[in-house]
Structure formats: structure tokens, C-alpha cells
């Protein structure tokens, strides 16, 4: 059974940093594209970042502030978030694609971890 478990959400002040982790199990982690999608309270889905066989990519809203990485030996995906803004407040979902490339085809989602940016 595929599982994605996110860790690292919480309350952080504007301008602060946070690192999210996502541990995957039940599949060959290194063979799949992985990414992060967020959802602000009462709002729609917003793709944040992805890591495919072609490399990394970011939404314009987070480029230069967020860094995605993965450790295939630990089956773990990371999202390092810096210079956080109040508008980054959202539930962050870890996302597993259905193949090595298509980041928009998310076969499995984590349960989500809440990041709150507030003073």
C-alpha cells in the first residue's frame, strides 16, 4: 500500500524558515516524480514544486524562496521554505506522480501538513 507521510508543518513568523519532509513507502521511491501542492484555507489547489527525472521546477510564487530536494536512499522528499510570507499559509500536500515525468498526474496524495505563517 502506498503511503506518504508528511512532517514539519507548524507556526512560523513572517520571514522565517521551515523544512517539510515526506516519507514514501509501498513503492519504488526513486522511480517516480514527486512534488508539493498547497491549499490555502478556503482556497483552491496550488502547485508548489516538483522533482522529476528532468529535474526540479517551481511555481513563480515560491521560486527563489523554496527548495525541493529528495533523498532516494531514505525514500524522503523535502521542501525547504525560506523568507516565508503570510500568503504561504496553507496545507501542504506531498504528491506522488504516476510515473517518472508528469508532475501534473498525481496518483497519490499525503494527508497534508499545515503551515501557518503569522506573527
50 is an interface residue for another protein by CB under 8 A? yes
> x-or-dash pattern for another protein, window 66-105, by CB under 8 A?
---------------------------x----x---xxxx
**Residue 31 per-residue DSSP state:** G
Nearest distance in Å: CB 98, another protein: 6
Ranges of H-type helices in the chain: none
Is the Cβ of residue 48 or residue 84 nearer to another protein in the bound state?
Answer: 48
Pick from 13, 10, 9, 31: nearest CA to 22: 9
The one among 57, 82, 89, 116 contacting another protein by CB under 8 A: 57
Q: Alpha-carbon distance 57 to 39, whole Å?
A: 18
* Contacts for 12 with CB less than 8 Å, ≥ 6 apart: 18, 84, 115, 116, 117
The one among 5, 21, 46, 65 contacting another protein by CB under 8 A: 46
24 is an interface residue for another protein by CB under 8 A? no
Q: Alpha-carbon distance 50 to 65, whole Å?
A: 14
Interface ranges with another protein (CB under 8 A)? 35, 37, 44-47, 50, 57-60, 93, 98, 102-107, 109-112
Amino acid at each position: 500500500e502506498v503511503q506518504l507521510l508528511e512532517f514539519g508543518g507548524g507556526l512560523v513568523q513572517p520571514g522565517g524558515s521551515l523544512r517539510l519532509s515526506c516519507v514514501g513507502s509501498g513503492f519504488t521511491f526513486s522511480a517516480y516524480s514527486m512534488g508539493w501542492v498547497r491549499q490555502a484555507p478556503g482556497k483552491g489547489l496550488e502547485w508548489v514544486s516538483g522533482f522529476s527525472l528532468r529535474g526540479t521546477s517551481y511555481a513563480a510564487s515560491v521560486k527563489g524562496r523554496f527548495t525541493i530536494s529528495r533523498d532516494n536512499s531514505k525514500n524522503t522528499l523535502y521542501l525547504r521554505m525560506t523568507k516565508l510570507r503570510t500568503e504561504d499559509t496553507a496545507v501542504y500536500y506531498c504528491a506522488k506522480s504516476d510515473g517518472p515525468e508528469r508532475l501534473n498526474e498525481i496518483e497519490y496524495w499525503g494527508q497534508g501538513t499545515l503551515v501557518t505563517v503569522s506573527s
